[in-house]
Amino acid sequence: MTINSPPELRENSSKKDQPLLIVDNIEASYGPFRALFGVSFTLNYGSSTALLGPNGAGKSTVARVISGLIRPSKGHIYFKGDEITGKDTWRIERLGVAHVPEGRGVFASLTVEENLKVFLSNAVPKKLIGEKIDEAYSFFPRLKERSFQKAETLSGGEQRMLALSRALVAPPVLLIADELSLGLAPIVSQEVWSSMDEIRKKGTSILVIEQNIDRAKTFADNVVELSRGKVVESSST
């Protein structure tokens, strides 16, 4: 048995034009420093949205608020129609939100294979884990070569591939990808974006955070532009 698209999407194919995620008037701070000032936008089932903006605009903070890493001081977030504002991160993940954070999104002290086991342990039945790991290796053969290597010894591109492989073999309902191509060589970056296309084809909704405006606009259906913690423009590409 293989899972080709998120179960949520297979059950709700009629929902395609309905909002999967509603971010409503969110405010958030890091200690005394306020980062978001009333951010609002929506993301529909099966669609992809790019969050754009310069450094310090609040893009990563929006991602962190959605996945529960930061509790907002004001506003609401709805996922699949239910409010998830302030819920624990692990609960939100189990609802089908996969957040690949900026930088190293893998466990450095674990091997490649152990990382994959961890990513898949809550996403697929136990008996399917071995099969899914093989599937991940078929997408990224380089990871197979390094399966017993600790993740901290992988290159930046390989670490991003490892983080994305989970979404490839057990597609989440919503994938939040934060600055995936940052600091990667163009050829590696191309490989990472190709895998994002694969994930989208499986029906996963994607919120992509990116500084490369052209690349993001090419990829996403909608664009939300942030500046100094506020939404300055929302448009379709």
Partner 1 sequence: MRQLPIDILSGLPYGCVYGLLALGLVMGYRTSGVLNLALGAQGFLVALFFNAAIDAGWSPLVSFVVWVIVFGPFVGIALDRLLFRHVRGAPVVVQLVSVLGLLIAIPSLASVLAGSTSPSPHALILAPSSVYAHLGGYAISGQAIVTVSITAVVLALLSYLMHFSKLGLYMRLVVESPKLAELSGIEAERVGALAWGLSSLLAGLAGVLIVPILHQVSSFSLTTLVVAATAAAAVGGLTSLPLTMTGALLLGITQQIIAGFAPTSAQWTQGLRPSLPFVILGLALIFHPRLTHLAGRSDPMAGINPPVPSLDVVRRQVRKGRNSRWVVGLGATFAIAVVALNVTDAWAFYLSQGASYACIFLSITLLNGTGGQISLSQASFAGIGGFVTAQLAIHFALPVGAGVFAGALGAGIAGFIVAIPSSRLEGLGTALVTLAFAMLADSLLFPLSWMGNGGTGVILPRPQFGSISFNSSRLLLLFVLVFLAGLSWFVVWIRESRLGLEALAVSSSRRGAKAVGLSDKRVSISIFTLSAAIAGLGGGIFAITDQSISPNDFNSQYSFVFLVPGMGLGSRTVYGALVGGFGYVIVKQLLSTFAPQSFGILVPLVVGVLAISWVLHPEGIIERQHRYMAQLKSFFPKKGLVAASK
Of residues 101 and 157, the one with the C-beta less far from partner 1: 101
93 touches partner 1 (CB under 8 A):
yes
Contact window for partner 1 (CB under 8 A) among 45-53, 115-123, 135-143, 205-213: 115-123
- According to the binding rule CB under 8 A, does residue 119 interact with partner 1? yes
H/E stretch holding 112 reads: helix 112-121
Our finding on whether 221 is near partner 1 (CB under 8 A) is no
* Residue of the chain from 4, 14, 17, 33 that contacts partner 1 (CB under 8 A): 33
| Residue number with CB closer to partner 1 (48 or 61) | 61
34 makes contact with partner 1 (CB under 8 A): no
Residue (of 132, 62, 114, 68) closest to 94 by Cα position: 68
Alpha-carbon gap, residue 87 to 66, rounded angstroms = 9
Q: Contacting partner 1 (CB under 8 A), which of 59, 64, 200, 202?
A: 64
CA distances from 19 to 40, 54, 75, 96, 114 (A): 13, 26, 17, 15, 35
Cα-flanking dihedrals φ and ψ of residue 189, to 5°?
A: -60, -40
| Residue 85: closest CA among 97, 72, 98 | 72
Asked if 30 is part of the footprint of partner 1 (rule: CB under 8 A), the reply reads yes
Stretch (H or E) spanning 21: strand 19-30
Report the interface residues with partner 1, using CB under 8 A: 30-31, 33, 64, 67-70, 88-90, 93-94, 98-99, 101, 103-105, 107-110, 114, 117-119, 121-123, 152
